[in-house]
Amino acid sequence: MSKLKFIAISGTTGVTENCYVYEYGNDIIVVDCGVGFPEPEMYGVDLVIPDFTYIKENKHKLKGILISHGHEDHLGALPFLLRDVKSDIYATRLVAGFIKEKFDDQKVPLPKLHVFDPEKDSLTLGVFRVTPFRVSHSVPDGVGFCIDTPEGKIFHVPDYKFDWTPVDGKPFDVAKASSLASDGVLALASDALGSTAAGYTESEKGIEDHINAIAEKAKSKILFTTISSNISRVKQALNVATRLKRKVCFIGRSIDRKSKIAESLGYLKYPHNLVINKKQALKLPDNQIMFIISGSYGQPGSALYRVATGEHEWLKLEEEDVVIFSADPAPPGSKTNVDFVVDKLIESGIDVHYYDIQENLHVSGHGCQGDIKMLVSIIKPRYLIPIGGSIRHMHAYKKLIIEMGLNGQNVFELGSGEIVEFEKGFARKSKEKVNVKDVLVDGLGVGDVGNVVLRDRQVLAKDGIAIALIQIDRTNNKLLADPEIISRGFVFEGKSAKFMNETAKKLKIFLESKQHLDKHLAKDHTIDFLEKFFYHKLERRPMILPVIVEV
């Protein structure tokens, strides 16, 4: 007899890369397929994606991929999976628009994309019957899923909060969720990211007033930045611009394209003459324009980053200009980049309104402790699985469940690749585990940057490189000329020549002391000597690159 398996491919020990597998017998469905963002030490890495090996090995079982909402950490990895696996995708209308754009951007053929209505549709995918229901989040058209399985109902509720006055006017559908749960729920897998914060997450509605209060005092250009997929926040900025009789110009490919998708599907509505292009914007007085610009996470190369560093091709800032950040630097590694951009703007005399100065310009899209308690009270599951957070969030989620008087042993804190098995109404963590690793995307390469490459990049960034040119007489296996050492990013330029000459003389004495010196031994001896010499003299370990020439 088959067991129901819940497999956390990723998304339980980190905030991003959400990807979960439900498996029963010969049927598999995948819920969400998101990217992660590189840590600062992942030099040159563009994205981190889940390890899809298990899904690829079982692709004959795959009945469909469900996407809960439009953020990159829930849909951004779809093109990477569906290069190698065939599957239909299921999503709401706005999310489907973002998915189509993602495949166009990656130049990957779009698989069959089904748009469902969370008000009325249900989906049958193999043995699984899936009923979506609307949830509130920071991007419109987000859903949770009630998944009917042969073992019972499982609710899968990723990023959510209980916002009774959302910007799109469509709050969490508590009535439908409650009705679906009324005949008993085996398990709930739900967002744990807000489990360390007390109370309830605030509504998005009040943010517009705070944006307006800043914008109406501005005497020159306004730059407004948020996450490109945060259509609700873009709508609020457009409302403010309309009220203040400012025209709007979108800058940055991602925010421009997503806003156009949202507008074409009816999720953004504004006066037809409100949004103008670059040429029209440049003709207007500064106090009549608002730029909605991408780069709220300070991404190097983004439009806002180039503006802050003075490298943008046509948009330049002046002292009376205002920049409004309406996003929290949440993804790993992003705060360093955003802090850099904010500091550059402040150095230039710009009036910057950002996350650290408590102006209520952002609220989380994730439910706090009160929201989590409310969801658990509505669903009343027997077992619980925290998802979408880090280890500390899972631990706080479990403590919260215990405080509610529920059994802590029924909460499964999963690492990447770990499995919960359900059989005959009971659940246990499996002794088996799916082997997963971080898959790094570097330019066009997927998975070809491993630990060795990253370590080399880290060494180069921290300690630089020393190249040793060694000429050997092939006939008698002796040095033919004095070694030459060239360094980059290692020793201060003014001292480099003298120090490297000294190092070359010491290396020559060391190599000449060896009785036999072929090219392989010369390489090993050079690395060994220089590593010890540099550390002894400078306590630094540059990358040593011997270039051996046999003559």
160 three-class SS? coil
Question: Residues of the chain whose pLDDT is less than 50?
Answer: 42-44, 443-454, 457
Three-state DSSP state, 301: coil
- Across 30-67, b (16+ Cβ under 10 Å) vs e yields bbbbbbbbbeeebbebebbbbbbebbeeeeebbbbbbb
Q: In whole angstroms, give the CA distance from residue 129 to residue 147.
A: 6
Residue entry with tokens 């004495």: 509
Query: What CATH homologous superfamily does 4-200+364-432 map to?
Result: Ribonuclease Z/Hydroxyacylglutathione hydrolase-like (3.60.15.10)
Which two structure tokens, joined as six digits, stand for 138? 């920071």
- The domain spans of the chain are 4-200+364-432, 207-357, 451-550
- Pick from 106, 39, 43: nearest CA to 77: 106
- Edge-to-edge, what's the strand order for the sheet holding 222-225? 247-251, 289-293, 222-225, 322-325, 351-353
One-letter-per-residue 3-state SS of 206-227: CHHHHHHHHHCCCCCCEEEECC
* Three-class secondary structure assignment of 404-431: CCCCHHHECCCCCCEEEEEECCEEEEEE
Distance of CA 121 to the CA centre of its chain: 30
Angle at 156 between CA 154 and CA 157, to 5 degrees: 140
Cα distance from N-terminal residue to C-terminal residue, the chain = 71
Pick among 3.10.20.580, 3.40.50.300, 3.40.50.2000, 3.40.109.10: CATH of 451-550: 3.10.20.580
Give the pLDDT confidence score for residue 505 in this predicted structure. Answer: 87
pLDDT at 495 (0 to 100): 60
pTM of the model: 0.81
Q: Cβ distance 387 to 158 under 8 Å? A: yes
d(CA 45, CA 254): 19
The pLDDT, as a whole number, for residue 461 is 56
Question: 3 - beta bridge partners?
Answer: none
CA angle 210-215-221, nearest 5°?
Answer: 150
Nearest to 372 by CA among 299, 262, 364: 364
Using the Cα atoms of residue 354, residue 356, residue 361 and residue 363 in order, give the sign of their dihedral: positive
The secondary structure of 462-513 as a DSSP string is HH-EEEEEEEEETTTTEE-S--EEEEESSS-HHHHHHHHHHHHHHHHHHHHT
**Residue 66: which H helix or E strand, with range?**
strand 62-66
Q: How far apart are CA 156 and CA 147, in angstroms?
A: 7
Q: What pLDDT is stored for residue 455 in this prediction?
A: 52
Superfamily of domain 207-357: Metallo-hydrolase/oxidoreductase (3.40.50.10710)
Task: Please name the residue ranges forming H helices in 198-314.
Answer: 207-215, 231-243, 253-264, 278-283, 303-308
Strand order in the sheet with 445-446: 47-49, 439-442, 445-446
pLDDT at 357: 60
Phi, psi of 66 (to 5 degrees): -100, 130
